[in-house]
Amino acid sequence: MDTRDAAFMQSALREAEKAATAGEIPVGAVLTMGDEILAAGQNRSIRDFDPSAHAEVVALRAACHAQSNHRLGNATLYVTLEPCAMCVGALVQARVNRLVFGAYDPKAGAVGSAIDLTDSAAFNHRFEVLGGVLADESGALLQDFFRSRR
C-alpha cells in the first residue's frame, strides 16, 4: 500500500460514512484516473429501491457518464468492502484497470474470499487487485453499523 492508495481509500471511507448516516450498509467507493477522483459512490440500494445500487456500481455509472464512455480503461476503483459477483462483473464490463479494496467479505466477496472471479477464464478482461487497504477502518464501520441494528 502506498500513500496515494491510503488517501483515496480515506475518500471511499467518507462515502461509506455518508451511506451509514443515510441508513445504508456503509460501503463507499471512489473511482480515479491518475491523481484525480472522477466519481464517488456509496451504497444506495435501500434509498433507490435498487438492488444493483452498490457503491461500486454507483461510482462506475457516474464516472462513465462524466467520461461519456462505458469504458474506463485507465481507472482505479477504491472501495471499502471486497466487491460481490455483480460488482466484479461491472468492473470487467467497464474495463477498469485496477481495484483496491478495504475489508474482505468472507460471505459474498468475489475477489478471493467466497469466490475469485478475477481469474475466471469466462471474462475477457483482467484487472490488478490490491486488498486489505485500511481494512481495519473499513471493517469497523461495518461492525459498528450492524451492531447498532441488533
101 pairs with which residues across the strands? 79
DSSP 140: H
Whether residue 119 contacts residue 129, with contact meaning beta carbons closer than 8 Å, is answered with no
Which residues, at least 6 apart from 106, have a Cβ–Cβ distance to it below 8 Å?
Answer: 113, 114
Q: Which residues are the active-site residues?
A: 56
User: In a structure prediction context, what are the per-residue pLDDT tens digits for the chain, which is 150 residues long?
Assistant: 689 999 999 999 999 999 999 999 999 999 999 999 999 999 999 999 999 999 999 999 999 999 999 999 999 999 999 999 999 999 999 999 999 999 999 999 999 999 999 988 889 899 999 999 999 999 999 999 998 887
